[in-house]
Structure 1
Amino acid sequence: MKIQKEIIEFEEGKSFKLFSPSLKNCFFWHYHPEIELVYVEACNGIRHVGKNISDFEGSDLLLIGSNIPHLNFDYKIQTECKQLVLQMREDFLQNIVFPVPEFEAIKKLLDRSYLGLSFSGETKRMVVEKLHFIQDKNPFESLIGLIEILQILADSTEVKELNNEDTRIKWFLNDKIRMGTIYDYIHENYNQDPNVNIIAEDVNLSTPAFCRYFKKQTNMTFTDFVNNYRINQAKLLLLQNECVTDVCFHVGFESLSYFNKLFKKYTGETPTEFKKKHLTKIAV
């Protein structure tokens, strides 16, 4: 459950691979030198890229740079989940992009990908359409399609940087704590009363040392992370048309007013507003 280096194999004569992995029941906290473009489609889920931990609704499109630790995006998703992952050879930037002056914008995009980039809106729609299009094309047509995808991403303003600092693997290599143990503990106990003392003991740290470690790794306190996880689970239940009061207690909150306040803090809207807006979209 420690950070693992993923060894990626490519077919002979191909500069990239495009496939649909499924690791729902696996905690795969990993890195690889290959740049990766990921599209995931689910009601909601958690993205953990570098030090950024956040959630997504409906779908997510991410460009993840070389040697950035990240968690598989279908981890613990309880609903249907679809994924497309595109991985470029380690020398893709050096051999294909660098020598061509017309690819300057793409070069800057891939250089910037070490921050982890999340794309939305029309950009996401266009790229996903092209990803599906190139799936069954011959190697040459697929490569041209990939260049078009990268140009769309390079020109886009519908992008969010997930990290504000370099989180490549060198920063994480000394991490001896099992992040998977922490994730699993939170997943099993988020609706009860997760105890920081218990999880600290499970990973062989004093509570103060664990709190410092967790904040350094995630930019969040343990309490903030648990609350964020609870709100993420609450959104899933609300999308299933569950009653707001029932959802509040189901995910571990003891006060409806506090749940409403925290939900609005994390999402910008109350649970009732969230439910009304998103269920209306689904109905339409």
Structure 2
Amino acid sequence: MRPMVETVNVAANTSFKVETYSNSHSCGSAGWHIHPEYELVFVRNGSGSLRIGTEKRSYANGALVFLGGNIPHADFGNKDREDNLEVVVQFKKEFLEEKIKVFPELTKIKKLVEKSKQVLLFGEEVHHRLGNDFLQFRKLDEQGSLVKLLYLLDELSKNVPYETLFDSFTRSTYKRDEIKRLEDTFEYVNERYDQNISVSEIANRIGLTPNSFCRFFKRMTQKTFIGFVNEFRVEKAVELFREENTSISEVMYRSGFNDPSYFARQFKKYQGQTPSEYLKGKYS
């Protein structure tokens, strides 16, 4: 089955994304999917399966996995226990391949990043030892999260036991030009979500006609482009609502909407409640 291309919505003031999923709050991309970002996944406990590329591997008491970008996979979590948590850290390739390389002190981390393209499965001792560090992401701000991420990558780059899932992973079955077009589309929306989004402009940017682009986007993501943009803007609106003293009208305009009723409908569609209900719950 062809994997769905997932967009990873990294906030403007960060270079990576951290999400924590509980037994009742599962990852939204549980199906077969692919994205260009690197991914570090910690599953606290329970048993499940790691479905990555052509391989399937079972785990019995949680898991710790590091995989490079553009490797198709399914969600790694499980619902075995009520106290289970899955922490997913996703890094833009620029963060690992461009920014880190300017520091000569991070040679071991660079090597770890390169090995992640083979998919690294870390042993039980490492999983247990670093468990509390992954759980601390929930309480950290952006700067603290960055320091914690670098600490974890440093620990994993040391002489710790791990298994590689692949001798080498071939991406020949996934067309590079299609992945590149999706990356360019996601970047375009990330840069312009608060402005007018033009289908004609993005289609021309990636070398397609508007109709061909819409068909291409739906085939690759199983979403319409307009639906994707609205969902992206709603996610940005949620980020803005988390800031102090933000009004509904301010958030509406800053996230790219300009009609209050349309904003309310789209917000409820993707968040299950209206903006006013969201704010009421926030301050109650």
With the length of structure 2 as denominator, give the TM-score of the two structures: 0.55
* Runs of at least 4 residues off by over 6 Å: none
* Residue number among 96, 100, 118 corresponding to 1:97 in the alignment: 100
Does 2:108 correspond to 1:109? no
Q: Quote the offset at 1:100 in angstroms.
A: 0.6
CA contact under 8 A between 1:114 and 1:167: conserved in structure 2? no
Aligned CA RMSD, in angstroms, stands at 2.4
In 2: Cα distance, 1:145 partner to 1:135 partner: 11
**Residues 27 and 38 from structure 1, CA distance in 2 versus in 1: closer, same or farther, beyond 3 angstroms?**
closer
Task: Determine which of 123, 138, 142 is the counterpart of 1:139.
Answer: 142
**In the aligned structure 1, how far is the partner of 2:12 from the partner of 2:27?**
29
1:282 alignment partner in structure 2? none
Percent same amino acid among aligned pairs? 27
Alpha-carbon contact 1:51-1:163 (below 8 Å) kept: no
Normalised by the length of structure 1, the TM-score is: 0.55
CA distance in 2, matches of 1:3, 1:172: 9
Question: How far apart are residue 130 of structure 1 and its match?
Answer: 1.3
Counterpart in 2 of 1:254?
none
What is the CA deviation profile of residues 71-96 of structure 1, one whole-angstrom value per residue up to 9, with x for unaligned ones?
Answer: 11137x56544211011123111332
> Does the aligned pair in 2 maintain the 1:106–1:150 contact within 8 Å?
yes
Shift of 1:115: 1.0
CA distance in 1, matches of 2:29, 2:150: 32
1:119-147 deviation digits (Å, cap 9, x = unpaired): 12332123222122233222222211111
User: What is aligned with 2:183?
Assistant: none
- Opposite residue 151 of structure 2, the aligned amino acid is E
- Give the letter aligned to residue 73 of structure 1: F
| Structure 1 position 121 matched with structure 2 position 143 | no
Matches within 5 A, 1:122-201: 122-168=125-171, 170-172=172-174
Preserved contact between residue 42 and residue 134 of structure 2 (Cα < 8 Å) = no
> Paired residue for 1:195?
none
Q: Is residue 118–residue 165 contact of structure 2 (8 Å, CA) maintained in 1?
A: yes
Local SS of the residue matching 2:63: strand
CA change 1:35–1:121 in 2 (3 A) is: same
Tell me the equivalent position of 1:12: 12
Distance 1:4 1:42, change over 3 A: same
Q: Which amino acid aligns with 1:7?
A: T
CA deviations 1:195-232 (Å, max 9, x no partner) are xxxxxxxxxxxxxxxxxxxxxxxxxxxxxxxxxxxxxx
CA contact (8 A) 2:46 2:80 kept: no
CA contact (8 A) 1:20 1:82 kept: yes
Where structure 2 has 5 or more consecutive residues not aligned to the other structure, the ranges are 177-284
| 3-state SS in 1 of match to 2:41 | strand
Note the C-alpha offset of 1:58: 1.2
Shift of 1:51: 2.0
